[in-house]
A and B are shown apart, each in its own frame.
Chain A
Amino acid sequence: MIRHVRFLGSPKPGEGRIWVIAGPFLWFMIFFVIPFVVVAKISLSTAAVSIPPYVPLVGWGEDGTLNIALHFGNYHFLLTDPEYVIAYLSSLRNAAVTSLVTLLIGYPVAYAIATTKETLRGPLLMLVIMPFWTSFLIRVYAWIGILKPNGLINNFLMSLGLINHPLDILNNQFSVYVGMVYAYLPFMILPLYSCLEKMDHSLLEAANDLGARPIRAFVSITLPLSLPGIIAGSLLVFIPAVGEYIIPTLLGGADTLTIGTVLWNEFFGNRDWPVASTVAVALIVLLVGPLMLLQHFQSKGERS
């Protein structure tokens, strides 16, 4: 017992740290690095009709030689057909629009919550988180009921006599944006809120005393101070939005081509696990950039 206390009291440099890091590190190894290596390995193979449906990379020759065959052709293949490039670009566009719109909607919401009475903040934040208690799939399905030709919006507008033909607002790019902005909004509001809430409001009073108009004060004080929140929120929305599969599938039209659809086609339609894995690896590489940016800004935020 005493020994235990002494150990905690005088840690040898670096010894305790290893154990603290080990947890997250193991987690990262098991749930990211190992699966990624497996996927990357499959991406260097070719499809076959067997269990599992690809040619093993490592095999033994008849004379006992070890054969390792790596096919890099799949990566070249992605560039030969515009389908993949178009799918990546439209996924990036969907994610960018979603991030921008969630920022425009989420910023005022987060600002309002952060500046309201302290007793009200808890319940308001609760309202932001509340939708997570319902299954994500059901919430997306609910949007079909709201947007469809004889759904809530169209029936309401028709009963008012504002339109006499149902608006075409489901199964197109618009409904995909609606669904994505709706689904990802909390991921924008929460980091923004935590950033704005910590802000020192006496700075705004000082600006006011020095004659700055509210807009000027906002632009030169609030906005720069909330920049880490904006970046964290945008990346939290952008990164999962690039790979989003469910929302474009359910709310999109036939012409919606995203990286999720392409992955489905390769994996299930063509049963070509190697090409599917190649598409996945390329997507991860595409996302590493934003991820590193997030890391960079977070560590910078912690230092300051």
Chain B
Amino acid sequence: MAKKYFRRATVIAFALAVFVGTGAQAQQSSLNIYNWNDYIAPETIPNFEKATGIKVTYDVYDANETLEAKLSAGGSGYDIVVPTLVPFAARQIQAGFYQPLNKAKLTNIGHLDKSLLARMAAYDKDNSYLIPWMTGLVGIAYNVDKIKQIMPDAPVDSLRMLFDPEIVSKFKDCGVSMIDSPTEVFPPALKMIGLNPDSQNIADLQKAADVHFKVRPYIRRYDSSEYINALANGDICVAWGYSSDIQIAKHRAMEAGKGVNIAFAIPKEGAQRYIDTLAVPKDAPHAEAAWKFLDFIMQPEEIAKTSNKIYVQSGNADARQFVTPDVANDPGIFPSAEVEQTIYSISPSTPDVDRARTRFWTRVKTGH
């Protein structure tokens, strides 16, 4: 009896598998997305599900390293991920993490920002793996009223705000914070002492670490997520961070209505642009659904909703006309052509340089 039952179950399971198999080829019914926290308009996923009938599982992370560790292990099960271009996506392409874009299925690809694509082509030849999602700059956040009170003539749009001990020391008591990410703190320190911000020379990195050592006593915290709230609450008054985070802090402070006024400044010495990109892992179980989603969000009206929600420039040039004026006219989000000239890029480093940079950074933070 049991044996007969088992045999029948096997037959049914096989039939089901064949049925589902052919069904999957015609239309995949689910999609797994892994994106940064607070990095999409809340209506985008429901709209996509309604339009296509594909069920989306949406997970979030808060560090490129987390994503990279998951993809390194293989078999992550995700169909779309959002790595930052440099150094992450750049080296991940070389390590064979992703599959080439199926451009035949991406009809909206013409809306993408050509200048960003040109920038990306240096790491992703012929733009064959990555689609730009959102882009921003690493720069200075400050509490307008507190800075005015402490130092009316503070050079708020200069790296000296954070990397000149004489200036940053004045803000020690009201709180200074810096993101805890070696790849975003060494370039400005190199720039500060007139070296190439993209230097891959370990001796140069040592000099940049010395710049950090000198301002170390005045930095309250090295952290990449808490500073958003700390800025919005008025717990700190100067921060080195990502423009998208700082915009969130600024708007949270406005919503709280406690009179905290946060501003973002692009350092006039030059700034580093980060580009977060969409990519499809090589072992993505639902690649067909992934192409559908990528094509869906490349519609200018769709991606503009995310730009409006998180106050960030998207990688879609045609979306700008659908972005609300307070976002589109903010020079911190869409910099002028002259400012754009000063923006530099960083190249991926060899493991030795990575190790040296991480080691210097630990020494800056801990003194050991």
Contact = CB atoms under 8 A, between A and B. Distances in A.
A256 B73 contact: no
Interface in A125-155: 148-150
A205 interface: no
A45 interface: no
A51 B95 contact: yes
A32 to B, nearest CB: 20
Interface stretch (B31-39, B63-71, B99-107, B336-344): B63-71
Contact of A51 (B97, B233, B234, B363): B97
Contacts of A255: 365-367
B66 A257 contact: no
Contacts of A52: 72-74
A295 B68 CA distance: 39
B71 A150 contact: no
Contact of B66 (A148, A254, A265, A268): A268
Contact of B358 (A51, A53, A269): A269
B166 interface: no
Contacts of A148: 235
Contacts of B362: 83, 257, 261, 265
Contacts of B319: none
Contact of B233 (A81, A150, A253, A265): A150
Interface in A38-83: 47, 49-53, 81-83
Contacts of A297: none
B175 to A, nearest CB: 8
Contacts, number: 76
Given A52-B72, A148-B235, A171-B221, A268 B65 contact: yes
B259 to A, nearest CB: 14
A82 B235 CA distance: 34
B366 A50 contact: no
Contacts of B96: 50-51
B114 interface: no
Contacts of B365: 254-255, 257
B321 to A, nearest CB: 40
A254 B91 contact: no
A93 interface: no
A49 B66 CA distance: 16
A268 B68 contact: yes
A47 B63 contact: no
A36 interface: no
A270 interface: yes
A149 B73 contact: no
B113 interface: no
A254 B222 CA distance: 6
Interface string A259-279: 001000101111111000000
B367 A272 contact: no
Interface string B32-55: 000000000000000000000000
Contacts of B359: 81, 83
A281 to B, nearest CB: 19
B220 interface: yes
B366 A271 contact: no
A33 interface: no
Given A50-B96, A150-B233, A256-B366, A270 B74 contact: no
Given A254-B219, A257-B368, A272 B355 contact: yes
A269 B359 CA distance: 10
Contacts of B351: 47, 49, 270-272
A86 interface: yes
B94 interface: yes
Contact of B72 (A81, A254, A271): A271
A272 to B, nearest CB: 7
Nearest to B363: A83
A223 B234 CA distance: 51
A254 B361 CA distance: 11
A82 B354 contact: no
A269 B182 contact: yes
Nearest to A165: B173
Nearest to A87: B368
30 contacts: A49-B91, A49-B351, A51-B95, A51-B96, A52-B74, A53-B95, A81-B359, A82-B368, A83-B359, A83-B362, A150-B233, A150-B235, A254-B219, A254-B365, A255-B365, A255-B366, A257-B366, A261-B362, A265-B358, A265-B362, A267-B69, A268-B65, A268-B66, A269-B182, A269-B354, A270-B351, A270-B354, A271-B72, A271-B354, A272-B355
Given A51-B96, A52-B74, A254-B365, 4 more contacts: A171-B220, A254-B221, A269-B65, A269-B182
| Smallest CB-CB A-B distances: 4 pairs | A268-B65, A257-B366, A49-B95, A254-B365
